[in-house]
Amino acid sequence: MSFIEAARRGQIVACAIETIATLGYARASLAEVAKRAGISKSVISYHFAGKDELIREVVTEVYSLAISLIVPRIQAAPDARGALRAYIEGHVAFFASHRQHVLALVEIVSGLPPEARDLSSHVAGVEDALPGLERILRRGQAEGQFGAFSPRVMALTIRSVLDALAPQLRVYPDLDLETYARELVELFDRATRGNADARAEPPEATRPEAEEPGESPGGDHGTA
> Please, what are the averages of pLDDT over each run of 10 residues along the chain (224 residues)?
86 96 93 93 92 93 93 96 97 95 92 65 60 95 96 94 90 91 96 68 43 43 40
The contacts found for 153-162 with CB under 8 angstroms, 24 or more apart, are: 154/188, 154/191, 154/192, 155/130, 156/130, 157/191, 158/87, 158/88, 158/133, 158/188, 159/129, 159/130, 159/133, 162/88, 162/91, 162/92
What pLDDT is attached to residue 110? Answer: 84
pTM above 0.75, yes or no: yes
For the chain, the domains span: 50-193
| CATH architecture for residues 50-193 | Orthogonal Bundle (1.10)
